[in-house]
């Protein structure tokens, strides 16, 4: 178990940038550097100063802008020229770091470097010595074993080299999974071996690429095996399938109870900005930041998610969306969805609904969803208005009018038979009930409410929505609603919707 706080080393401006179709210029890198500071990463690898003049100048500029908390790092191959340029580029940072690297994997030494292991070891040690001689009091030196993931058969050589590299002055040893080829534990076991073998004051870092989609898992487990510095890129940018995605590791560690030194609330906004600036879109299903990653479509999931939506943990989601600055957890209605979703969607749209009504209108909405797929909210509310406010049946209101105070006329049809009845009582609703009773249709009203709704609903002013609860002959209670510009008319429409509704339930 690692008792040290994780230290996030961001390589978006170096490993991420080098894989972009159009690498960033100075202005763009400055903008992203600012985002990184806001997110609160502990180290920023600003570039590879030896790669081109633009990168050199950019690194120089960013180094001059850095605060005194953030390490600013320049990459250099294990050659003097690169190390000198890296030093010149970052020396004005408050906390400068030279990061030098060479491959120690047998395959790479033989076929890419085309050198004997002992010669490679010497290059590593000389590079670190040279970097150390330049960096000064406030800075430090990081050494990376490029292709550490492939150092399966020569770990004694790797450990031996690292001990000498540490002697030469490196204080951070980075173990990259330069190409992810096998299982996370294969890598993590060797990270653990390095942790055991090197002095305790040496920081062990991991830098995992995501070729098989396991960079997050490998990084998280490496942390628990003793690696403290966790290297990755925003949005998982980087060569091929990218680098470890910093957000995923940060949230995974947070969920494990680790104190993560990042402003997690900045994550979502940062991710959207990086997608825009890099031209690399976030795929819909991307963990945490994908548009669809907080959507629930199956009825069972919707039910759980809705019941726990205000809880920090919550059913069927890894985090409360607000942890990363999101507020768009979504319930989408498809043929796979259920009544809880209808209830939630209508309520969120601002309309009154009871669970009994949601159950009642679910079949009609499901039928539409079977044809269309996921239904836009507007489509669902259209069905809601049709099913709730225009209930078809044997009763048809023709006209409701006032004769005098306390006296009202109700003209209606029942199974095409016309009725014209006068009802008497204080208000229009009770007068109408009286008229219906005289006509042989007594009604029991147990609840009345006027629902205020802001704005307009389908061209009808909102303050005229009536909700009534009616007892059905079977004993249970139904809600019926009416909608009209006049409150009195809305009441009567609610009553007639209720009559048809009860008929339909018989
Ligand atoms: O993936 C890698 O090995 C690297 C090193 C330069 C650290 O990016
Ligand atoms: Zn890399």
Same-domain status, 256 and 160: yes
Its domain, for residue 359, covers 295-388
Q: Could you tell me if the CB of 17 is within 6 A of ligand 1?
A: no
- β-strands 71-77, 96-103 pairing: parallel
Same-domain status, 319 and 336: yes
- Is residue 162's pLDDT more than 70? yes
- Is residue 462's pLDDT more than 70? no
Confidence of residue 461 (pLDDT cuts 50, 70, 90): very low
Would 287 be classed as within a structural domain?
Answer: no
Measured between alpha carbons, how far is 254 from 250 in angstroms, rounded to an integer?
6
Specify the DSSP class assigned to residue 506.
Answer: -
Q: Whose CA is nearest to atom 8 of ligand 1?
A: 15
Cα 338 to ligand 1 centroid, rounded to whole Å = 49
For residue 478, the model assigns a pLDDT of 79
Would 371 be classed as within a structural domain?
Answer: yes
Measured between alpha carbons, how far is 92 from 152 in angstroms, rounded to an integer?
39
Structural domain ending residue among the three candidates 328, 356, 388 = 388
Cα 341 to ligand 2 centroid, rounded to whole Å = 44
Sheet of strand 407-414: strand arrangement: 395-404, 407-414, 417-424
Give the number of the ligand closest to the Cα of residue 175: 1
Structural domain ending residue among the three candidates 219, 239, 262 = 262
Structural domain ending residue among the three candidates 331, 358, 388 = 388
- 209: tokens are 């690429």
For residue 458, the model assigns a pLDDT of 45
For residue 210, the model assigns a pLDDT of 98
Same-domain status, 134 and 239: yes
| 176 close to 207: Cβ distance less than 8 angstroms | yes
Same-domain status, 349 and 468: no
Lowest-pLDDT range of 240-244, 409-413, 486-490: 486-490
- Over the Cα atoms of the chain, what is R_g? 34
- Is residue 42's pLDDT more than 50? yes
Q: Please give the number of the atom of ligand 1 that sits closest to the Cα of 14.
A: 8
Would 191 be classed as within a structural domain?
Answer: yes
- Is residue 452's pLDDT more than 70? no
Pocket probe mutation, ligand 1, options 97, 144, 150, max atoms within 8 Å of Cβ = 144
Which residue carries 């191959």 as its tokens? 77
- Is residue 179's pLDDT more than 50? yes
- Is residue 335's pLDDT more than 70? yes
Domain count, the chain: 3
Q: Whose CA is nearest to atom 5 of ligand 1?
A: 146
Q: Please give the number of the atom of ligand 1 that sits closest to the Cα of 231.
A: 7
Pocket probe mutation, ligand 1, options 98, 102, 146, max atoms within 8 Å of Cβ = 146
Would 279 be classed as within a structural domain?
Answer: no
Higher-confidence position of 468 and 305: 305
For residue 297, the model assigns a pLDDT of 97
Which helix H or strand E contains 207, and what residues bound it? strand 203-208
Same-domain status, 380 and 403: no
Lowest-pLDDT range of 217-226, 283-292, 476-485: 476-485
Give the mean pLDDT of the chain.
Answer: 94
Cα 240 to ligand 1 centroid, rounded to whole Å = 13
Q: Could you tell me if the CB of 146 is within 6 A of ligand 1?
A: yes
Q: Could you tell me if the CB of 178 is within 6 A of ligand 1?
A: yes
- 48: tokens are 């590879």
Mean pLDDT of the region 223-243: 98
- Residues in the 5 Å CB sphere of ion ligand 2: 15
Residues of the chain with pLDDT > 70: what percent? 95
Q: Could you tell me if the CB of 101 is within 6 A of ligand 1?
A: yes
Which residue carries 């076991």 as its tokens? 189
457 φ/ψ angles, rounded to the nearest 5 degrees: -115, 110
Would 203 be classed as within a structural domain?
Answer: yes
Same-domain status, 384 and 237: no
Q: Please give the number of the atom of ligand 1 that sits closest to the Cα of 174.
A: 7
Sheet of strand 465-471: strand arrangement: 445-451, 465-471, 477-483
Same-domain status, 352 and 420: no
pLDDT in tens, 296-320: 999 999 999 999 999 999 999 999 9
Q: Could you tell me if the CB of 144 is within 6 A of ligand 1?
A: yes
CATH number of the domain that 481 lies in?
A: 3.30.160.270
- Is residue 463's pLDDT more than 50? no
CB-based contacts of 318: which residues, under 8 Å, 6+ apart?
A: 251, 255, 287, 288
Would 326 be classed as within a structural domain?
Answer: yes
Q: Please give the number of the atom of ligand 1 that sits closest to the Cα of 15.
A: 8
Same-domain status, 200 and 65: yes
For residue 469, the model assigns a pLDDT of 72
Higher-confidence position of 446 and 285: 285
Cα 384 to ligand 1 centroid, rounded to whole Å = 57
Mean pLDDT of the region 95-124: 98
For residue 459, the model assigns a pLDDT of 41
Pocket probe mutation, ligand 1, options 15, 18, 50, max atoms within 8 Å of Cβ = 15
- Say how many residues make up the chain: 506
Cα 173 to ligand 2 centroid, rounded to whole Å = 14
Specify the DSSP class assigned to residue 69.
Answer: S
Cα 178 to ligand 1 centroid, rounded to whole Å = 6
Same-domain status, 364 and 459: no
Would 282 be classed as within a structural domain?
Answer: no
Same-domain status, 51 and 92: yes
Q: Which of 55, 36, 38, 39 is nearest to 47 (CA)?
A: 55
pLDDT in tens, 403-417: 999 999 999 999 999
Cα 239 to ligand 2 centroid, rounded to whole Å = 7
Q: Whose CA is nearest to atom 2 of ligand 1?
A: 178
Measured between alpha carbons, how far is 334 from 366 in angstroms, rounded to an integer?
7
Q: Could you tell me if the CB of 229 is within 6 A of ligand 1?
A: no
Cα→Cα distances 480→108, 391, 446, 459, Å: 75, 9, 12, 20
For residue 223, the model assigns a pLDDT of 98
Which residue carries 């679910």 as its tokens? 362
- 112: tokens are 């890419």
Reported for 341-346, long-range contacts at CB under 8 A and 24+ positions apart, including other chains, are: 341/296, 341/299, 341/302, 341/306, 342/380, 342/384, 343/306, 344/302, 344/306, 345/377, 345/380, 346/380, 346/381, 346/384
- Is residue 3's pLDDT more than 90? no
Q: Please give the number of the atom of ligand 1 that sits closest to the Cα of 75.
A: 6
For residue 485, the model assigns a pLDDT of 76
Q: Whose CA is nearest to atom 1 of ligand 1?
A: 178
Measured between alpha carbons, how far is 309 from 302 in angstroms, rounded to an integer?
10
For residue 453, the model assigns a pLDDT of 58
For residue 470, the model assigns a pLDDT of 66
Same-domain status, 197 and 334: no
- Is residue 256's pLDDT more than 80? yes
Would 270 be classed as within a structural domain?
Answer: no
Confidence of residue 503 (pLDDT cuts 50, 70, 90): confident
Residues of the chain with pLDDT > 90: what percent? 86
- Is residue 217's pLDDT more than 50? yes
Cα 179 to ligand 1 centroid, rounded to whole Å = 9
Q: Could you tell me if the CB of 176 is within 6 A of ligand 1?
A: yes
First and final C-alpha spacing in the chain = 66
Same-domain status, 258 and 146: yes
Partners of 173 in the β-ladder? 143, 204
């Amino acid at each position: 178990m690692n008792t040290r706080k994780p230290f996030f080393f961001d390589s978006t401006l170096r490993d991420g940038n080098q894989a972009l179709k159009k690498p960033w210029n100075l202005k763009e890198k400055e903008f992203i550097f600012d985002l990184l500071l806001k997110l609160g990463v502990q180290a920023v690898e600003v570039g590879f100063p030896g790669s081109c003049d633009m990168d050199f100048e950019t690194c120089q500029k960013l180094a001059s802008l850095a605060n005194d908390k953030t390490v600013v790092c320049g990459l250099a191959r294990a050659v003097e020229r690169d190390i000198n340029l890296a030093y010149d580029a970052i020396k004005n940072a408050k906390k400068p770091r030279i990061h030098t690297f060479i491959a120690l994997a047998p395959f790479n030494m033989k076929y890419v470097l085309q050198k004997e292991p002992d010669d490679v070891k010497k290059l590593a040690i000389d590079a670190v010595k040279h970097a150390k001689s330049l960096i000064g009091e406030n800075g430090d030196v990081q050494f990376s074993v490029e292709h550490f993931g492939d150092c399966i058969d020569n770990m004694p050589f790797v450990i031996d080299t690292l001990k000498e590299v540490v002697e030469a002055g490196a204080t951070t040893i980075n173990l990259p999974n330069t190409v992810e080829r096998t299982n996370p534990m294969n890598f993590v076991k060797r990270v653990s071996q390095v942790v055991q073998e090197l002095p305790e004051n040496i920081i062990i870092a991991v830098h995992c690429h995501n070729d098989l989609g396991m960079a997050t898992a490998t990084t998280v487990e490496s942390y628990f095996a003793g690696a403290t510095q966790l290297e990755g890129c925003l949005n998982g940018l980087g060569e091929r399938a990218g680098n470890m995605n910093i957000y995923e590791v940060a949230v995974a560690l947070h969920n494990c109870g680790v104190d993560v030194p990042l402003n997690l609330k900045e994550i979502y906004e940062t991710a959207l900005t990086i997608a825009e600036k890099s031209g690399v879109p976030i795929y819909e299903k991307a963990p945490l930041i994908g548009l669809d990653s907080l959507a629930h479509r199956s009825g069972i999931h919707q039910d759980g998610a809705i019941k726990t939506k205000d809880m920090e943990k919550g059913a069927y989601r890894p985090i409360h969306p607000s942890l990363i600055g999101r507020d768009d957890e979504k319930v989408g209605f498809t043929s796979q969805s259920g009544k809880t979703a209808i209830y939630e969607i209508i309520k969120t749209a601002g309309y009154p609904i009871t669970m009994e009504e949601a159950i009642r209108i679910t079949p009609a909405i499901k039928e539409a969803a079977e044809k269309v797929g996921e239904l836009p909210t507007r489509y669902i509310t259209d069905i809601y208005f049709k099913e709730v406010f225009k209930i078809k049946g044997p009763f048809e209101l023709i006209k409701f009018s006032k004769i005098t105070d306390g006296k009202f006329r109700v003209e209606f049809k029942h199974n095409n038979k016309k009725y014209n009845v006068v009802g008497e009582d204080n208000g229009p609703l009770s007068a109408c009930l009286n008229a219906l009773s005289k006509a042989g249709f007594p009604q029991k009203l147990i609840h009345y409410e006027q629902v205020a709704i802001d704005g307009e609903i389908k061209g009808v002013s909102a303050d005229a929505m009536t909700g009534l609860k009616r007892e059905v002959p079977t004993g249970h209670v139904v809600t019926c609603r009416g909608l009209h510009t006049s409150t009195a008319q809305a009441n009567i429409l609610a009553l007639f919707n209720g009559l048809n509704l009860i008929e339909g339930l018989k």
